[in-house]
Amino acid sequence: MFRDRSDAGRQLAELLLPFKTKRPVVLALPRGGVPVGLEVSRRLDAPLDVLLVRKIGAPFQRELAVGAILDGAHPEIYVNNEALQALGLPASYVTREARNQLAEIERRRAIYSRGRSKADVRNRTVIVVDDGIATGATMRVALRALRHAGVAYLILAAPVAPADTAEALKTECDEAVFISTPDDFGAVGFYYQNFAQLTDADVVRCLDQAPAPVD
């Protein structure tokens, strides 16, 4: 369906063109979402930044998200109170773990942005982009954390996602835009002719080619 991530990004950008007048901020999940986000950023003449979100897992079940921390001008912590209560964990657990994850976020930020200012998403229209979605677990906590951060209008955009995952994620944002939502999904890479693994240097090159994040 897509030649590569840039081709997917150009196709996705056409569907997102109506949002250009909203002066959106484009946030891409590294690494694969960044070249897709670059094409969206160019078409919408919007700033591009990476969305660095770290899931905070339960002590003995790391895949179960009890919270997340989201990078930004003002780092935001999302707390899954239902999960905390079910596991008998205090809210302080998330706060403590968030400090550890923030250090990793800052390490990645230093590599990717090289001194570029972070995008401030408060009261902005934000388009969250990835190269495809499988289970949606990371995207779900990212969207919830962004909502907690005060985004005015939240849009999820991806070239491809399973039909059931796409439907479930619609409840986490104001609008969701997909090119394809097959019932028989398989894997994201099945929908690309070229789905080569990207490097940190690839991410940096994309960010250097895009409009700078705004405050």
- Quick check: is 82 in a domain? yes
Same domain, yes or no: 192 and 137: yes
Q: What is the pLDDT of residues 140-197, one digit of tens each?
A: 888 988 988 889 999 999 999 999 999 999 999 999 999 999 999 989 999 999 999 9
Q: How confident is the model at residue 7 (pLDDT cuts 50, 70, 90)?
A: very high
Q: What is the pLDDT of residues 57-112, one digit of tens each?
A: 888 877 677 888 887 767 778 888 888 899 999 988 988 888 888 888 888 888 98
User: Domain boundary residue among 87, 113, 139?
Assistant: 113
DSSP string, 52-110: -EEEEEETTEEEEEEEEEE-SSS-EEEE-HHHHHHHT--HHHHHHHHHHHHHHHHHHHH
* Structural domains of the chain, count: 2
Largest CA distance in the chain: 48
User: Domain boundary residue among 66, 93, 113?
Assistant: 113
> What pTM, to 2 d.p., does this model score?
0.86
- What pLDDT was estimated at residue 151? 94
CATH number, residue 87 = 3.30.1310
- What pLDDT was estimated at residue 214? 54
Is there a contact between 159 and 2 (Cβ–Cβ < 8 Å)?
Answer: yes
- Quick check: is 215 in a domain? no
Tokens of 151: 């985004």
- What pLDDT was estimated at residue 95? 86
Tokens of 44: 């919408």
R_g over Cα of the chain: 17
Same domain, yes or no: 80 and 129: no
- Quick check: is 69 in a domain? yes
- What pLDDT was estimated at residue 201? 93
Same domain, yes or no: 16 and 102: no
Phi, psi for residue 199 in degrees, rounded to 5: -110, 170
Please give the residue range of the domain that contains residue 93: 53-113
- Quick check: is 200 in a domain? yes
Angle at 171 between CA 170 and CA 172, to 5 degrees: 90
Same domain, yes or no: 38 and 126: yes
